[in-house]
């Protein structure tokens, strides 16, 4: 190697063996750092592991190390699955790799979903690396197959993935989702994927694990869409994640409203951004969810009705902070009810076409400042003050 030749040709004869030893520990053949060599070896192991997942090859998967988890995801229809090692920490014959797992669900994901993973490995006497475990990176949410064997049910417009749930129950979710998709398209239009992926974990704890949050944050919440928890506005894949504990307490109409609400978030994601206040995104999703159910304002908005009837009409539209899942339950209910009635009022007063146009106009704005005001002016020909006054009068009329 050229580095050694230069040292040997120097006059510092007494020091060169030490330098050579140091270089030998840092450099592999061809001048490649040893750490880079190990990282490349680990990458090749994970490449073989990914290929085995896509080929449904249990033997090839086991040849890369621990076979734990292979059976759990075997039924998931995958179009892509790959790893990218981003860092490697070694300690003798053990190593820990930080890796990005990229995968696509066939027929549903426009682009890969990328999640951080922690992979632990061991090296045998022959110098070969093998996986001993793989799990979500610290502070990252689980994937459904981390919680157990995934069962899959396909609907006409849906894919339902569940853990610890019966086939009949998963089929019931597919039926609800299949009703939700055309209902959303009838209200919003067809400029979206027109299908939805629903994840049904075994329990509230499983839901929290998927979201990487404490269970207390979602107790009483029947379902969420992953984009609501910090995803990008144009994320490649939204997932509707069900809380089976809370969902099971709802009646048939309630279950349909919830799933239609969440499907609306999937449909509107590309037009929902930092400029969109939660009263609009949540209110619109509720408006689509309740559209056609025949439910009256008094039935849908009991908390807000109580406030109106006791003379406490809200002074302003709900602020984003009122929608916090871990906050006061009554305040949360009033926020959702107020947003729903605001959107219901727009549809009744200006028309459904204007409601959709207003939603899109707000989302197109670069930032929150002036977004609602500009859309009110340009689409509804009103001001925020006038709109708020109309909304307050609407609350009194509908709930008083």
Q: What SS3 class is residue 116?
A: strand
With a CB cutoff of 8 Å and minimum separation 6, the contacts of 67 are: 58, 61
Domain total of the chain: 4
| pLDDT value, residue 217 | 84
Same domain, 17 and 110: no
C-alpha distances in Å from residue 117, one per residue of 99, 210, 364, 384: 5, 14, 34, 46
Residue 26 has pLDDT above 50, yes or no: no
Same domain, 281 and 366: yes
Among 88, 116, 140, give the residue marking a domain's end: 140
With a CB cutoff of 8 Å and minimum separation 6, the contacts of 282 are: 323, 335, 336, 339, 340
Same domain, 98 and 158: no
Per DSSP, what are the bridge partners of residue 255? none
Residue 267, both tokens: 């449909």
With a CB cutoff of 8 Å and minimum separation 6, the contacts of 324 are: 332
Q: What is the distance of C-alpha 341 from the center of its chain?
A: 27
C-alpha distances in Å from residue 114, one per residue of 99, 119, 297, 386, 389: 10, 15, 41, 44, 45
Question: How are beta strands 129-136 and 151-154 bridged, if at all?
Answer: unpaired
Residue 2 has pLDDT above 80, yes or no: no
119-171: per-residue pLDDT in tens? 999 999 999 999 999 999 999 999 999 999 999 999 999 999 999 999 999 99
Q: How far apart are CA 23 and CA 277, in angstroms?
A: 59
Pick from 58-72, 81-95, 217-231, 270-284: least confident:
217-231
C-alpha distances in Å from residue 137, one per residue of 4, 309, 353: 41, 50, 44
| pLDDT value, residue 32 | 47
Same domain, 180 and 201: yes
CB atoms within 10 A of CB 78: 17
CATH code for position 191:
3.30.2010.30
| pLDDT value, residue 327 | 63
Contact by Cβ (8 Å): 259, 198:
yes
Range of the domain at 118: 34-140
DSSP 8-state assignment for residue 219: T
CATH code for position 341:
1.10.390
Among 108, 140, 172, give the residue marking a domain's end: 140
Within a 13 Å sphere around the CA of 35, how many CA atoms are in the beta-carbon half? 10
Same domain, 285 and 369: yes
DSSP 8-state assignment for residue 69: T
Same domain, 399 and 279: yes
Q: How far apart are CA 169 and CA 151, in angstroms?
A: 11
Q: Any idea what the Cα angle at residue 129 is, between residues 126 and 132, rounded to 5°?
A: 125
Same domain, 71 and 27: no
Same domain, 300 and 374: yes
Contact by Cβ (8 Å): 301, 317:
no
Among 245, 270, 295, give the residue marking a domain's end: 270
Same domain, 310 and 382: yes
Same domain, 360 and 282: yes
| pLDDT value, residue 28 | 38
CATH code for position 45:
3.10.450.50
Percent of the chain with pLDDT over 70: 88
CB atoms within 10 A of CB 198: 25
Same domain, 229 and 288: no
Q: How far apart are CA 192 and CA 370, in angstroms?
A: 27
CB atoms within 10 A of CB 315: 7
Residue 395, both tokens: 């609350």
| pLDDT value, residue 227 | 56
Exposure class string for 104-136: b at 16+ Cβ within 10 A, else e = bbeebbeebbebebebebbbeeeeebbbeebeb
Helices (H), the chain: 2-8, 16-26, 34-55, 58-62, 167-188, 204-211, 244-247, 252-268, 278-290, 297-300, 302-309, 329-349, 352-364, 371-380, 384-399
Q: What is the pTM of this model?
A: 0.87
Same domain, 147 and 232: yes
- CA torsion through residues 340, 320, 357, 396, sign: positive
| pLDDT value, residue 237 | 55
When pLDDT is cut at 50, 70 and 90, the band that residue 302 belongs to is very high
């Amino acid at each position: 190697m050229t580095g050694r030749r230069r040292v040997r040709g120097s006059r510092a004869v007494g020091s060169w063996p030490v330098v050579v030893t140091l270089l030998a520990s840092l450099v592999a053949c061809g001048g490649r750092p040893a750490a880079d060599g190990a990282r490349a070896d680990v990458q090749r192991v994970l490449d073989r592991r990914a290929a085995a997942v896509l080929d449904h090859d249990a033997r090839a998967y086991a040849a890369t190390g621990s076979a734990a988890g292979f059976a759990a995801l075997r039924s998931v229809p995958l179009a892509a699955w790959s790893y990218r090692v981003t860092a490697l920490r070694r300690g003798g014959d053990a190593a820990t790799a930080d890796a990005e797992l990229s995968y696509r669900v066939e027929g549903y994901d426009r682009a890969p979903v990328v999640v951080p993973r922690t992979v632990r490995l061991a090296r045998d006497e022959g110098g070969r690396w093998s996986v001993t475990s793989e799990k979500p990176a610290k502070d990252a949410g689980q994937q459904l197959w981390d919680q157990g064997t995934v069962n899959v049910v396909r609907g006409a417009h849906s894919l339902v993935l569940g853990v610890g749930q019966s086939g009949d129950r998963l089929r019931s979710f597919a039926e609800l989702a299949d009703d939700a998709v055309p209902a959303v398209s009838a209200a919003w239009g067809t400029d979206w994927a027109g299908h939805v992926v629903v994840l049904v974990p075994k329990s509230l704890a499983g839901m929290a694990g998927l979201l990487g949050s404490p269970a207390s944050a979602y107790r009483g919440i029947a379902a969420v869409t992953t984009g609501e928890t910090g995803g990008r506005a144009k994320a490649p894949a939204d997932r509707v994640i069900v809380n089976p504990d809370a969902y099971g307490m709802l009646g048939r109409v309630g279950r349909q409203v919830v799933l239609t609400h969440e499907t609306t978030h999937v449909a509107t994601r590309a037009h929902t951004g930092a400029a969109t206040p939660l009263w609009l995104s949540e209110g619109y999703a509720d408006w689509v969810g309740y559209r056609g159910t025949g439910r009256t304002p008094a039935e849908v908005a009991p908390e807000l009705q109580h406030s109106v009837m006791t003379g406490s009409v809200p002074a302003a539209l709900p602020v984003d902070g009122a929608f916090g899942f871990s906050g006061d339950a009554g305040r949360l209910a009033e926020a959702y009810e107020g947003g729903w009635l605001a959107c219901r009022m727009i549809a009744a007063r200006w028309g459904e076409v204007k409601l959709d146009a207003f939603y899109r106009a707000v989302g197109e704005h670069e930032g929150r400042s002036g977004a609602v005001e500009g859309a009110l002016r340009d689409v509804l020909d009103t001001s925020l003050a006038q709109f708020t006054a109309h909304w307050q009068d609407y609350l009194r009329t509908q709930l008083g």
